[in-house]
Amino acid sequence: MLLRSALLFPLFSLCMLSACDRLGLADPAKDAAAKEADARATGSACRHAGRGVEDCYTQNPDASRAAVFAGWKEMNDYMRENKIEEVKPDTSAAAAKAAAEEASSAAAKASEEASASEKSKSSKKSAKP
């Protein structure tokens, strides 16, 4: 019996420790690899959008410069090989949409305030004898 429990305990411990990635403990190697992959993807996206690598550095100061450059260079080579044109971001459309949404929300707020003041005026008039 003692021999059986002596064999089962290490086996059980080994099974429990094999799933320690599910405990939520941070793995520095995985975190570093994910950060580098994100920085490479950022560099690729910047190149595809036609931005210079320097602009990409300034817009993404937390990203590793070496990884951003590697992603930018990979995308540059890929775009040259496959004759892919740059896709210029249309920021004016996004800005116009945001301004339109802001104006409509401001108009709705003004309308609500006007109806509230109208209600208060009518209640004051009806309260007077």
The residues spanned by each domain of the chain are 29-89
**pLDDT digits 0-9 by tens, 62-121:** 999 999 999 999 999 999 999 988 888 776 666 667 677 777 777 677 677 767 666 665
pTM: 0.53
Task: Read off the pLDDT of each residue in 41-57 and give the average, rounded to a whole number.
Answer: 91
Residue 93: the pLDDT is 64
Instruction: Give the DSSP letter string of the chain.
Output: -HHHHHHHHHHHHHHHHTTGGGGT---HHHHHHHHHHHHHHHHHHHHHTT--HHHHHHH-TTS-HHHHHHHHHHHHHHHHHTTPPP----HHHHHHHHHHHHHHHHHHHHHHHHHHHHHHHHHHHHH--
Q: How large a percentage of the chain has pLDDT more than 90?
A: 27
Q: Pick the residue with more confidence: 76 or 19?
A: 76
